[in-house]
Structure 1
Amino acid sequence: MALFIIGDVHGCFHTYLKLLDQWNPKHETLIQVGDLIDRGNLSPLSIRLSFEIKKSFPDNSFFLRGNHEQMMIDHFQHAKTPYNWLQNGGEQVLSQFENLEMNLSDYQPWINELPLHWENDHVLISHAGFSGIGDPFEQNNSQNVLWSRRRPMKLDKVQIIGHTPLTSEHPQYYPESNTWNIDTGAYKGNYLSGIKLEDDGTLIELISIPTDMQDIK
């Protein structure tokens, strides 16, 4: 199956819905790179929608952990961390759950188990890139696949990442590392982007949806 990979949503639910209209579940595997939450107005609905998609399409939809999900997990597990989730969007997310009369606890077990990456023989997808510094999956490594802002190292696969928002309308390709960054800053009022690839990593299409102002104002 082809791959449809979606960048950082950050609570931009209406924009997320519009981009999901481009997904064909019969022929495409859906992968979202993490950071469903924080920043935008509707993190609870973004979580619930993703949770329901995974229930309905368990074999061809995958949702990865971003650094904002990790901050949420650490907050509730009382883990020592230099990052305070409440100060990075968490207070707003908790208020949104309360205002929508939704229970975050209904989704926490699922969020806690979100994987750090997805890969096949040709494509590797993670929230941030492989920095080449330390273990990319080690939680205490500040340059891991949740936090690194470095230009990714070149691997034997095409990498798809988010995490560092671009100012351009479309995802950006870095040939020196064979990497696509698909975070086009939805929560900044820019675009939410997706990329479609053949399962061998060949580009099919780039799709960018302007941020719906309901999501951020």
Structure 2
Amino acid sequence: MSLFIIGDVHGCFHTYLKLMDHWEPKTETLIQLGDLVDRGNFSPLTIRLAFEVKKVFKNSVHFLRGNHEQMMIRYLQGEPNSEHWLENGGRETLEQFKAHKLDPYFYLGWLNTMPLSWENKNVLISHAGFSGVGSPFDIHNPDGVLWNRKPLIHMGKLQIIGHTPLTGTNPEYLEASNSWNIDTGAYKGNYLTGIKLKKDGTLIEVITIPTDPRDIEHKNTLPTGMVINNKGQNISLSN
């Protein structure tokens, strides 16, 4: 099976659907490298679609955890000092769940099962990549695979990452670390990128989809100004 790897979606559901049209389930393993949620207008629908696709295709589909999923998990679990998610897209995401009459807590168990990386003998995929600083799989490590902004180290495999949005149309390959960054800033109104590879890491195709305007314009808000807090209670956002 070849690989089809999708970058940071960030709630851009309609753009995500257009890119998913390029997936060939019979011949391609699908891997999404995290940050399905926040920023765009349709985070609940991206979560629901990913959840249903994983349920149907099971072992041929892998949704990795990004830092925005990690923030969402911590908030929904009521962990201390987790309210900063609200200022990083979480406030709007909770409003969207309420508007779509979906329960974010329904997906919490699944979010907790999201792995931090996927790899085979030749390819290594994670949200933010390997910096060589601290433990890469420590979810609290600012230089780990959820949060890293430092240059990547060469891991002896082709790395595919997202996390740090690029400004151009195309993903970026860096020879020094043998890595691709495929976050082309969908939520910024740029592009959502997918990259197709042979299982040995050979590039087959890069697909860039312009952000659908519906995904980012006229941010959805609720007239009531209410969201669900991390204790499952309604709270006002109007004050």
Smaller-chain TM-score bracket: over 0.9
1:181 aligns with 2:206: no
Rg larger for = 2
Matches of 2:108 and 2:133, distance apart in 1: 30
Residue 87 to residue 4, structure 1, CA distance change in 2 (3 Å): same
RMSD of aligned C-alpha atoms? Answer: 1.1
The 5 Å alignment of 1:44-59 reads 44-59=44-59
Alignment correspondent of 1:161:
161
Matches of 2:137 and 2:41, distance apart in 1: 30
Alignment correspondent of 1:117:
117
The 5 Å alignment of 1:103-142 reads 103-142=103-142
Alignment correspondent of 1:41:
41
Q: 1:214 offset after TM fit, Å?
A: 0.1
Matches of 2:80 and 2:198, distance apart in 1: 41
Alignment correspondent of 1:90:
90
Q: 1:78 offset after TM fit, Å?
A: 3.1
Matches of 1:83 and 1:200, distance apart in 2: 42
Count of residues paired in the alignment: 217
Q: Secondary structure at the match of 2:114?
A: coil
Q: 1:115 offset after TM fit, Å?
A: 0.5
Identity of paired residues, percent?
Answer: 62
Cα distance per residue 1:146-173 (max 9 Å; x no partner): 0001121001100000000001111110
Matches of 2:38 and 2:125, distance apart in 1: 21
Q: Secondary structure at the match of 1:59?
A: helix
TM-score scaled by length of structure 2? 0.89
Q: Secondary structure at the match of 1:58?
A: helix
AA of the residue aligned to 2:49: L
Matches of 1:75 and 1:82, distance apart in 2: 5
Q: 1:197 offset after TM fit, Å?
A: 0.3
Residue 188 to residue 146, structure 1, CA distance change in 2 (3 Å): same
Q: Secondary structure at the match of 2:76?
A: helix
Matches of 1:211 and 1:185, distance apart in 2: 9
AA of the residue aligned to 1:95: E
Cα distance per residue 1:104-149 (max 9 Å; x no partner): 1221110111110000010000000100001100122110000001
Structure 2 unaligned spans of 5+? 218-239
Q: 1:81 offset after TM fit, Å?
A: 4.9
Structure 1 unaligned spans of 5+? none
Matches of 1:16 and 1:151, distance apart in 2: 28
Matches of 1:83 and 1:3, distance apart in 2: 36
Q: Secondary structure at the match of 2:184?
A: coil
Matches of 2:72 and 2:60, distance apart in 1: 26
Cα contact 2:76–2:108 (8 A) shared by 1: no
1:170 aligns with 2:138: no
Cα contact 2:76–2:105 (8 A) shared by 1: no
Alignment correspondent of 1:197:
197
Matches of 1:137 and 1:24, distance apart in 2: 31
TM-score scaled by length of structure 1? 0.98
The 5 Å alignment of 1:23-38 reads 23-38=23-38
